[in-house]
């Protein structure tokens, strides 16, 4: 191949490192280095010189190390082979980064796992060409910003995940509220990533997080947003979740057949049925201070069946469990008596005393024989 007379940069604008395609050089070859660039000479895998901006002739007078590499006396002329690397040291402030695919994080406030994606950009500049070329570029023909992001993606994702998780826990906030702290997260990420890039001769100028998003089509995110929307609605109206559930229970009870005559009792029955017991009672107490149910009856008192112990309403005549007669009723008209042992019915005046038809001795109505005279009853 012909000896290159003039070497100049011909790479893309976003190149951080670009290798000149020919290695056929001579001690008369001129190398043009633009502002914000450095040229690194590599011979047999070793860096032997670095040139700054300007026009340079590759003579032994300008580059004394050449005399050792190509075995020429000082001032001699000769062709030789070497790699020429252009290192762009200009500030690149629009390097994009992102955590695609999304990372799974647990929302500490609502205890659900949601897929989260973070995006942003950062600014960098090569501040040590030798370290950058030997530790990062290696034998690649060129090195672009996208390659840098690819190389450090693991570092980015790991730090993004740890720092976002830390903020969620420290602030006790939902993932849907994390964007309120996006600036602080960007600053903390910059402090974490900056020393890592410096190991490779790269200065991190700035680092920004532009957005942190939960996947809109994820079921957990959809349910979480629905719950937050419901809570916001309740906050506006002025009642809490327990009150809302109590309203739902009362509404369901009102729709049940026969429940309209005893709405509150049906509500408690439903509460017991789903196993909330006393807790539901407390909720109903709260509801009673907020809503006014007119024309409702008092709660019915409950007693235990004298035969099987089953709890029944005191106005029931028979136990639904064993069939035992409940309470005391007039033998003639069936009116319930106020107390046990009452001698006359206040409704019809009939005597409530059970006596032997033969000897007229007052006896227990359940007896089969008169204990006085033995008369069969």
Over residues 203-245, the pLDDT tens digits come to 999 999 999 988 888 888 888 777 777 766 666 766 555 665 6
Selection from 348, 328, 347 nearest residue 339 by Cα:
328
DSSP assignment of 41-98 equals: EEETTEEEEEE-SEEEE--TTT-TTHHHHTT--TT---EEE-EEEEEE-S-EEEEEEE
Question: Does residue 341 sit within a domain?
Answer: yes
One domain, residues 34 and 14: yes
Contact criterion met (CB below 8 Å) for 206 and 122 = yes
More confident residue, 251 or 98: 98
At residue 158, does pLDDT exceed 70? yes
One domain, residues 53 and 168: no
Q: What is the pLDDT of residue 86?
A: 96
The number of helix segments (H) and strand segments (E) in the chain equals 9, 16
> 4-18, 128-142, 191-205, 272-286: which has the minimum mean pLDDT?
272-286
End-to-end CA distance of the chain: 136
Place of tokens 């040291």: 89
Q: What is the pLDDT of residue 32?
A: 96
Among the candidates 153, 188, 220, a domain finishes at 220
Question: Does residue 324 sit within a domain?
Answer: no
At residue 254, does pLDDT exceed 70? no
One domain, residues 67 and 113: no
Contact criterion met (CB below 8 Å) for 328 and 336 = yes
Q: Name 104's bridge partners.
A: 115
Segments forming the whole domain that contains residue 341: 330-377
One domain, residues 132 and 188: yes
> 35-39, 99-103, 204-208, 313-317: which has the minimum mean pLDDT?
313-317
**CA 17 to centroid of chain Cα atoms:** 41
Q: What is the pLDDT of residue 274?
A: 44
pLDDT digits (tens, 9 = 90+) for 326-363: 777 777 777 777 666 677 777 777 777 777 877 877 76
Question: Does residue 236 sit within a domain?
Answer: no
One domain, residues 152 and 216: yes
Question: Does residue 27 sit within a domain?
Answer: yes
161-173 average pLDDT score: 87
Question: Does residue 256 sit within a domain?
Answer: no
Q: What is the pLDDT of residue 18?
A: 95
Residue 74: pLDDT band by 50, 70, 90 thresholds? low
Q: What is the mean pLDDT of the chain?
A: 78
Selection from 14, 193, 206 nearest residue 121 by Cα:
206
Among the candidates 88, 108, 143, a domain finishes at 88
One domain, residues 106 and 15: no
Cα Rg, the chain, nearest whole Å: 46
Query: pTM, whole model, 2 decimals?
Result: 0.56
Question: Does residue 167 sit within a domain?
Answer: yes
Question: Does residue 250 sit within a domain?
Answer: no
Contact criterion met (CB below 8 Å) for 182 and 209 = yes
Separation in Å, CA 355 to CA 190, 336, 352: 100, 20, 10
Q: What is the pLDDT of residue 255?
A: 58
269-280 average pLDDT score: 45
| 3-state secondary structure labels for all residues of 131-143 | HHHHHHHCCCCEE
One domain, residues 191 and 106: yes
Q: Say how many domains are in the chain.
A: 3
One domain, residues 42 and 65: yes
Question: Which residues touch 270 (CB under 8 Å, ≥6 apart)?
Answer: 249, 252, 253
Q: What is the pLDDT of residue 223?
A: 80
More confident residue, 134 or 59: 134
One domain, residues 83 and 107: no
Selection from 278, 329, 269 nearest residue 299 by Cα:
269
What gap in Å lies between CA 195 and CA 90, rounded to an integer? 20
Q: What is the pLDDT of residue 1?
A: 64
One domain, residues 67 and 107: no
At residue 273, does pLDDT exceed 50? no
One domain, residues 101 and 193: yes
Q: What is the pLDDT of residue 266?
A: 45
At residue 295, does pLDDT exceed 70? no
At residue 39, does pLDDT exceed 80? yes
One domain, residues 84 and 100: no
Among the candidates 88, 108, 135, a domain finishes at 88
Question: Does residue 316 sit within a domain?
Answer: no
What gap in Å lies between CA 253 and CA 201, rounded to an integer? 73
Long-range CB contact pairs, 360-365, < 8 A, 24+: none
370 by DSSP, 3-state: which? coil
């Amino acid at each position: 191949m012909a000896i290159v007379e003039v070497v100049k940069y011909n790479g893309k604008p976003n190149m951080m490192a670009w290798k000149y395609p020919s290695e056929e050089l001579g001690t008369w070859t001129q190398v043009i280095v633009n502002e914000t660039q450095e040229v690194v000479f590599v011979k047999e895998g070793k860096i032997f010189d670095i040139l700054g901006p300007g026009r340079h002739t590759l003579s032994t007078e300008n580059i004394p190390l050449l005399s050792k590499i190509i075995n020429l006396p000082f001032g001699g002329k000769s062709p030789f082979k070497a790699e020429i690397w252009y290192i762009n040291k200009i500030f690149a402030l629009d390097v994009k980064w992102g955590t695609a695919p999304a990372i799974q994080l647990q929302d500490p406030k609502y205890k659900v796992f949601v897929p989260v994606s973070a995006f942003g950009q950062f600014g960098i500049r090569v501040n040590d060409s030798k370290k950058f070329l030997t530790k990062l570029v290696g034998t690649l023909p060129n090195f672009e910003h996208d390659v840098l992001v690819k190389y450090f993606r693991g570092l980015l994702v790991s730090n993004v995940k740890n720092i976002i998780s830390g903020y969620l826990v420290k602030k006790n906030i939902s993932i849907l509220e994390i964007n309120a702290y996006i600036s602080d997260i960007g600053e903390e990420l910059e402090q974490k990533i900056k020393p890592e890039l410096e190991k490779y001769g790269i200065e991190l100028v700035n680092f920004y997080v532009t957005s942190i998003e939960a996947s809109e089509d994820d079921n957990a995110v959809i349910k979480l947003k629905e719950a937050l929307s419901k809570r916001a609605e309740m906050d506006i109206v002025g009642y809490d979740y327990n009150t809302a559930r109590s309203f739902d229970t009362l509404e369901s009870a009102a729709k049940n057949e026969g429940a309209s005559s005893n709405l509150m009792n049906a509500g408690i029955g439903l509460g017991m049925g789903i196993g909330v017991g006393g807790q539901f009672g407390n909720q109903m107490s709260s509801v009673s201070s907020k809503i006014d149910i007119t024309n409702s009856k008092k709660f019915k008192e409950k007693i235990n069946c004298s035969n099987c112990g089953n709890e029944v309403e005191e106005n029931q005549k028979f136990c639904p469990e064993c069939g035992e007669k409940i309470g005391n009723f007039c033998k003639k008209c069936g009116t319930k008596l106020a107390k046990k042992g009452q001698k006359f019915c206040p409704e019809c005046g009939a005597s409530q005393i059970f006596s032997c038809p033969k000897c007229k001795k007052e006896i227990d109505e359940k007896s089969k024989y008169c204990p006085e005279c033995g008369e069969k009853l």
